[in-house]
Amino acid sequence: MRRSMLFLAALSTLGGLASAADVQSISRLEAGPGNVLFVADWKAARVHAIELPPAQQKAAGTFNILDLEALLSRQLGGARLTVQDMAVRPGTGEVYVAVSTGPARTPALFAVTSDGKARRVDLKAARATSVALRDAPTGDDKFWKQTPERSFTVTDMKWRDGELFVAGLSNQEFSSTLRRIRFPFTAQQSASSIEIFHGGHNMMETRAPVRAMSFASLDGKPYLVAAYTCTPLVLIPIDALQDGAHVRGKTVAELGYGNTPADMISYTMRVGDKTEDYMMLVNFNRVSNVIPVSELRAANARPGIEKVVSFGQIAGLEVQQAPLAGALRIDNLDEQSFVLVRRRLETDALQLVSLGKDLSFRMTDHVSEYAFRGYSFKGDTWQQQNIKPRQDILLRQEGVPELIKPTE
């Protein structure tokens, strides 16, 4: 079967020496061009470009996998697992989920589809090219005696215009690092050290890495948008990220203390008769933030945050909240929907579910007046016009169309 042209170019660039991927760990995933999936391997301090088998282009379908752990664990001998990352393979209906098991954090990778099936990817047999990350952390230090510093070699990874942007740590004095790596891989890579002013901590920071990132075009200029722990939001001009550069990002917002960002994606949504650009920042310890790119554009025209911001204060941006508690990873499933790996807090169930971008919640998560058998929309024009149409869509998406209530 025909491989993607870009993967063949990678084979040519490396003298045709692609081999089985020696994946020792997985921290982040990112869908690349064609049939390529990028895998960040912190133990080996490498990024692998794995060749996926060809897949037919098809609609994604609706994901309602309410016990993802059971689905994946039975292919791992019943082992308890931790989700490391998730990435959509655009246009194929496949969602790739990376997990680890046991104290050695043994990696496993699965392709999951909306019909509730999971196929384990044979990492030992997968053809791949890889690139070593220059100046990766080398010591045995652990954060708070439990988390290896080396596991922060790659904290996020995004593909843009022929380049892989890789955030994480280096072994240099200013260890917060952003790398730019062209694909097909060569021996060359660009690495910039990053510093920011953190208003919640009232200090310049050069060690703590970017935890989640995406991209935005502001007044015709491309920027990397970066979220850090506790939770400054920073703009970095992409053209400033040159090899050997020391870059100071512009802090444009403080989004709340006591929080670690989990994931960030860019998306568009129809609002009235216009299409608007947004970013969704999913957090481990706070609600998710819907960030209009128009807010970033306005903030970029103002001075950045250079003074202390009191704990509890949200500063710099007018952001919206999204009800995505328990979210671990998020990605664009298609133009209308996100797909989410989440831990359902009420039941402690690990789930892979899709949800619409406009409301970003699931009807069946909640017991409200609408859930009761005796509730009727009859005679209530406001409910019929404003609630019922959207509720009917949600119930169909969530696999329970039989619960749709009649209008009369």
pTM here is 0.93
Cα 122 from Cα 109, distance rounded (Å):
8
Q: Are 74 and 86 in contact (CB under 8 A)?
A: no
75's CB contacts (< 8 A; 6+ apart) are 108, 110, 118, 120
Digit-by-digit pLDDT tens for the chain (408 residues) are 444 555 455 444 433 446 778 899 999 999 999 999 999 999 999 999 999 999 889 888 899 999 999 999 999 999 999 999 999 999 999 999 999 999 999 999 999 999 999 999 999 889 999 999 999 998 889 999 999 999 999 999 999 999 999 999 999 989 999 999 999 998 889 999 999 999 999 999 999 999 999 999 999 999 999 999 999 999 999 999 999 999 999 999 999 999 999 999 999 998 878 899 999 999 999 999 999 999 999 999 999 999 999 988 999 999 999 999 999 999 999 999 999 999 999 999 999 999 999 878 899 999 999 999 999 999 999 999 999 999 999 999 899 999 999 987
Give me 91's structure tokens: 């246009």
* CB-side neighbour CA atoms (13 Å) of 16: 0
Cα 212 from Cα 330, distance rounded (Å):
11
Beta strands in 22-152 (DSSP E): 28-31, 36-41, 46-51, 64-65, 81-89, 94-101, 106-113, 118-120, 127-132, 142-143, 147-148
Cα 376 from Cα 354, distance rounded (Å):
27
Cα 268 from Cα 332, distance rounded (Å):
10
Q: What local confidence, expressed as pLDDT, does residue 14 receive?
A: 38
What stretch of H or E contains 235?
strand 232-237
What stretch of H or E contains 275?
strand 274-283
Q: What local confidence, expressed as pLDDT, does residue 158 receive?
A: 98
Q: What local confidence, expressed as pLDDT, does residue 86 receive?
A: 98
Q: What local confidence, expressed as pLDDT, does residue 324 receive?
A: 94
Q: What local confidence, expressed as pLDDT, does residue 18 receive?
A: 62
Q: What local confidence, expressed as pLDDT, does residue 140 receive?
A: 86
191's CB contacts (< 8 A; 6+ apart) are 134, 135, 170, 177, 178, 179, 180, 243, 244
